[in-house]
Structure 1
């Protein structure tokens, strides 16, 4: 899946390293509205989207778009430190709660502006979850969330090349040991019949700030460890208790298995250096109908492997760690983060064009504007059947629906409110994702959504706790992400585990766990 740039680099690294795609950046001032927008590098320029012209009409002044598709964290740090914030910043998670804890005074508190943004006011009333998501512990609303409505409980699916299995006379693996044997057969058995070199296993780029979508930490589900939103910085909830998988023996077991696979030549040699585009491209093969990747993770088959070879692949259930395992398996629950995306748009506290900025913010949450932000312009991308019925159209040139969406519009990166009372005929990739969740559903059903999924979006911590925890996480991840790469390529997990554990615990991770536990307990008590 062509993931949200912000989501892909914050708690998830699925977006990988994205190429720059920028336009002229206006200097601001009363005669124009500066809007910085985070975009996927495939997304066409904002000026080429018809719906942006409607925003300019609403604003009543020209809009100067500043389009960012790479190095956002670095650019953001410089921008916030200098206090040079454009009139609006658009992008899911572009400005995080951690940013707001430190730089909140740079952004408009919208809690007393709700009458000027009636679409937002109505959305918050219709979806009380979003009020909790938007409101800081101080009562301020700096960033407006959104509602996407249609996404399945997980956006991460596990795939294997069924055509290769059949060609080599192999059964679908059900355990790690069986998977290992299958991957060896893929490497040594010429599953394509062409003698071409294959990649038995591959996953999306892992970043320095944590784990994310379509990555090998999904194997934690085999051990019964429940994830959410791809894994992030390792924190998880199980049976109402907060912990971090980076200090859990089940993570050690995953690393031992992956190291074994890498040593046997079963994992892509580029897995630790490739960007997201290379990861996607490898799985689509060289373009001659011959597949390259045997086992991997992705959004849908058509998105991961492309229209030419996706039918070679089959969505898999969760593997058991061991034969005869009695412990129930789990998976990653992503429904909260996908359907209730946080921090989609903020307004500068010092904008000279506050009225225009609020008009534009409000317009993003209009019924038809939201649909176009998510799926593309009415006309080429969406058919309007009547005032409450819409059909998302396929690309005329046969481009897969996920790529079509992300090239046409901001997609998941944009602010939106998809109403519950409208009818939308969805693109085929969303239905495909729903269908491909079926093999994973038993594992998801093993998870109690109140006791096994930490409600990150709906918990607002104090600025002091956010800052303190961020410092711990930075120190912790300096160790964990370096060791992840080292252990994959060089091994030594079991020999180094105790020293590693001591170093990570010295970062203060157990203090973070205790804080998160208290916030979780308080949140659950507030729901009684």
Structure 2
């Protein structure tokens, strides 16, 4: 069975699904968009097949992008300043903050006021199919073959990348961020080891022991200021349609996996969407207990991303989840990574994890773009170690130095604290290659050690989120939008105590009314086809 799944065994892409506004197709049909992307043009004739500049005469492109709280303006980032000189391509970025980004992205497509490309765009599979079918995104497979040698080489080395981004019709409407480094595909479980040591507590190994540790963090004044102001546990705020982060981080302790890009367990070739099962109830009851006893951050469902990051850096938080230690570097000795805790039935699974194609819809080209060939060559550079180094580290000498061929920020630049401001990778989702050669900052020994605590508990096989045909994708979109919205709203209420678990039967019945069984059958059929 494992061999049959070799090309599909990639990390979870938890594809968000939203009610997508009706999209105008004024920009032309999908076939027309594909034809224009491959037809000769004056721009295409000027594109160099390799080397720089990409074009002899300067051109301008407009990109829509997400900007994280830690970033500086994109126009001030060394990568884009230097790359403009190298490529002769000037990119004007329209930046939208992480909070509210999805709504602004939806509005672009609904109004048909499109940029030339979407960068760091967080397009879901369903969005890519929908907007591709509407002719607003162009198919990229021909452009990749002709103008993206770096991306092509990666897809040949890791065939699961191509299978995870190609529709049943053979189209690629969006390209991902590609991560060949294991530790860049998981959020670590960081715990305050200084507090453990001060309170003479051992590392928690079960959900019961974790509860006891969090109680001690709350009650025994581990920060030593004589006040009860410690925050035992926090997590990121949910984004509509993208699941509850605290659920994703704790589900493995209750035997709940995140396969096929969804809340899915697979056992004996049977697909189960577990949102209504008893293990999920046990998990939500456990989280409710933490919340009611003020062990779980009361602001978790409302805080902004910047608030969450500030709590990491404060040193006054007992436990949180994040990919690396960038945010709390100044107090890094205070924290250490931990293994998933064992749940009441003996489950100890690291269910959260991303694929090699970690950020599915990181980059896409729209039908208004007059220079698709140039744009593809422009983005392909960042799928090389050289391009990724420029993107992540900036200017050699000024921002970084090479040690044994590996880029490291200089000590002087590290002291400025400006590392997140000079690169779009800070905050995640940038379309580029993350390999061991460019991971000195995000994969220092502390992060490697934290990853080592997770690796033994990761599933042997991570089944990819399926790419559906347009009709099925639209059906899945409708079903998942209703189910996800209901599940996230009700789960939040269960955790916060606004909804009694006496209502669990009603909760299950509503999931049935929202056709969870029909959605499960669609995923079962997709699994069966992929497993042949």
TM-score category (smaller protein): 0.7 to 0.9
Structure 1 residues 116 and 192, CA gap change in structure 2 (3 angstroms): closer
- Pairing 1:128–2:159 present: yes
Matched, 1:470 2:477: yes
Contact 1:156/1:332, CA 8 A, preserved across alignment: no
Q: Does 1:100 align with 2:119?
A: no
- Unpaired runs of 5+ residues, structure 1, are 1-6, 13-28, 286-290
For each residue in 1:394-447, what CA deviation from the matched residue of structure 2 results, as whole angstroms up to 9, or x when unmatched?
Answer: 5535469xx865322111432224579xx5572264543221122333322xx3
C-alpha distance in 2 between matches for 1:383 and 1:345: 29
Deviation string 1:56-105 (CA, Å, 9 cap, x unpaired) is 346545432222224222112221122222112111x5333212322211
The alpha-carbon distance between structure 1 residues 383 and 190, as it changes in their structure 2 partners (threshold 3 A), is closer
Find the aligned partners of 1:241 and 1:144 in 2 and give their Cα distance.
Answer: 30
Q: Tell me if 1:270 matches 2:299.
A: yes
Q: 2:40 is matched with which residue?
A: none
Matches within 5 A, 1:224-373: 224-227=255-258, 234-285=263-314, 291-300=315-324, 302-303=325-326, 305-308=328-331, 310-322=332-344, 325=345, 327-337=346-356, 340-373=358-391
Aligned to 1:288: none
Equivalent in the alignment of 2:183: 152
Pair 119,181 (structure 1): closer, same or farther in 2 beyond 3 Å: closer
Rate the CA distance shift 1:134–1:57 in 2: closer, same or farther, 3 A.
farther
Equivalent residues of 1:9, 1:207 under 8 A apart: no
After TM superposition, the score normalised by the length of structure 2 is 0.80
Shift of 1:316: 2.1
The residue number in structure 1 matching 2:515 is 508
CA RMSD in angstroms, aligned pairs only:
3.2
Report the Cα offset of residue 385 of structure 1: 6.5
Q: Is the 8 A contact 1:159 1:297 kept in 2?
A: yes
Q: Distance in 1 between matches of 2:194 and 2:433?
A: 41
Q: CA deviation at 1:365?
A: 3.4
In 2, are the aligned partners of 1:217 and 1:254 still within 8 Å (CA)? no
TM-score w.r.t. length of structure 1: 0.80
> Using a 3 Å threshold, how does the CA distance of structure 1 residues 440 and 109 change in structure 2: closer, same or farther?
closer
Instruction: Give the direction of change, closer, same or farther, for the CA distance of 1:218–1:238 in structure 2 (3 Å limit).
Output: farther
- Aligned residue pairs total 475
Deviation of 1:506 (Å): 1.4
User: CA shift at 1:154, angstroms?
Assistant: 5.1
Cα distance in 1, alignment partners of residues 467 and 238 from structure 2: 27
Aligned to 2:70: 42
Look up the match of 1:18. Answer: none
State the shift of 1:278 in Å. 1.1
- Residue 416 of structure 1 pairs with residue 432 of structure 2: yes
- Higher RCO (CA 8 Å, separation ≥ 6 residues): 2
Equivalent of 2:450, from 436, 451, 463? 436
Equivalent in the alignment of 1:487: 494
The separation in 2 between residues aligned to 1:262 and 1:333, in whole angstroms, is 22
Q: Which runs of no fewer than 5 residues in structure 2 stay unpaired? A: 1-11, 18-42, 44-57
